[in-house]
């Protein structure tokens, strides 16, 4: 997480961890919103744009104005902060996630799996379902420690992380329209709910449509498990 051929804390052949068509209204509307003071706070409470999820060079790409979800309020609001929505826009997803205060444990997992370079490929296009820190805290401590630190568990860690990545940029509307997407790991990820409140294999989206240089990110409240729907 086979419709993927319609995309956080993922290597080589398995590819990456760590969000429809061009964002609401086009460049002219975006400029008008900027003049009127529309920013992250407005975006966090607004519904995401409509998208077919395919077609055109901007398919699946979003802007800071398209970000939504209750967890977005926990993201820094200073645009000069690299962990803010605005700060993440220009960085590839591996770097962007490492600056986000919601994703410190995901970042540690990506580093442990050796997937940072894969996630940071400038010519890649990903959709990343990024578990927030509390999602990792729900895993028993001994299991999580083994997953992150036992070399024999590295393949399992990589498989889990790449189940959170789709090798195509998709926004919330495109994901919901698809209903199911194929992950880099190979398993299908089921998308439910609505474009303004989607679910990912049952997990809730805390902050969605987050743009980075090479991915669209959805911060979710669970760590997804391959083979489990």
Q: What is the predicted pLDDT for the residue at 58?
A: 66
Nearest to 72 by CA among 183, 221, 210: 210
Strands 203-211 and 165-166: unpaired
Beta strands in the chain (DSSP E): 126-131, 165-166, 180-182, 188-194, 197-200, 203-211, 215-220
Nearest to 102 by CA among 125, 80, 69, 127: 69
- Is residue 175 within 8 A of residue 53, CB to CB? The reply is yes
CA–CA gap between residue 27 and residue 40 (Å, rounded): 17
Angle at 153 between CA 131 and CA 166, to 5 degrees: 40
Residue 195 CB-density burial (10 A; 0-12 exposed, 13-18 middle, 19+ buried):
buried
Mind listing the domains of the chain with CATH numbers? 3-29+38-220 (2.30.180.10)
- Is residue 32 within 8 A of residue 23, CB to CB? The reply is no
With b for 16 or more beta-carbon neighbours within 10 A and e for fewer, the 114-146 pattern comes to ebbebbbbeebbbbbbbbbbebbeeeeeeebee
SS3 (DSSP) at 189: strand
Q: What is the predicted pLDDT for the residue at 221?
A: 97
Residue 5 CB-density burial (10 A; 0-12 exposed, 13-18 middle, 19+ buried):
exposed
pLDDT tens, N- to C-terminus, the chain (229 residues): 333 333 333 333 333 333 333 333 333 443 344 444 444 443 343 444 444 344 444 678 999 999 999 999 999 888 888 989 999 999 999 999 999 999 999 999 999 999 999 999 999 999 999 999 999 999 999 999 999 999 999 999 999 999 999 999 999 999 999 999 999 999 999 999 999 999 999 999 999 999 999 999 999 999 999 877 6
Q: What is the predicted pLDDT for the residue at 59?
A: 74
Q: How many helices (H) and strands (E) are present in the chain, helices listed first?
A: 10, 7
CA–CA gap between residue 164 and residue 151 (Å, rounded): 21
């Amino acid at each position: 997480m086979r419709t993927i051929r319609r995309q956080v804390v993922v290597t080589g052949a398995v590819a990456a961890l760590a969000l429809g068509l061009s964002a609401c209204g086009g460049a002219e509307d975006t400029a008008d919103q900027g003049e009127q003071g529309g920013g992250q706070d407005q975006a966090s409470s607004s519904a995401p744009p409509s998208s077919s999820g395919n077609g055109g060079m901007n398919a699946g790409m979003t802007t800071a104005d398209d970000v939504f979800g209750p967890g977005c309020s926990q993201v820094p609001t200073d645009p000069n902060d690299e962990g803010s929505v605005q700060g993440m826009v220009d960085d590839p997803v591996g770097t962007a996630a490492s600056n986000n205060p919601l994703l410190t444990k995901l970042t540690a997992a990506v580093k442990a799996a050796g997937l940072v370079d894969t996630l940071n490929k400038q010519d890649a296009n990903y959709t990343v379902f990024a578990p927030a820190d509390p999602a990792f805290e729900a895993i028993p401590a001994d299991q999580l420690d083994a997953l992150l630190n036992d070399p024999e568990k590295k393949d399992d860690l990589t498989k889990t992380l790449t189940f959170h990545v789709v090798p195509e940029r998709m926004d919330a509307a495109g994901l919901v329209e698809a209903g199911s997407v194929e992950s880099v790991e190979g398993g299908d990820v089921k998308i439910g709910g609505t474009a303004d409140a989607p679910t990912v294999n049952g997990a809730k989206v805390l902050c969605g449509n987050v743009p980075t240089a090479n991915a669209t990110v959805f911060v979710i409240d669970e760590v997804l498990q391959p083979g489990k729907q």
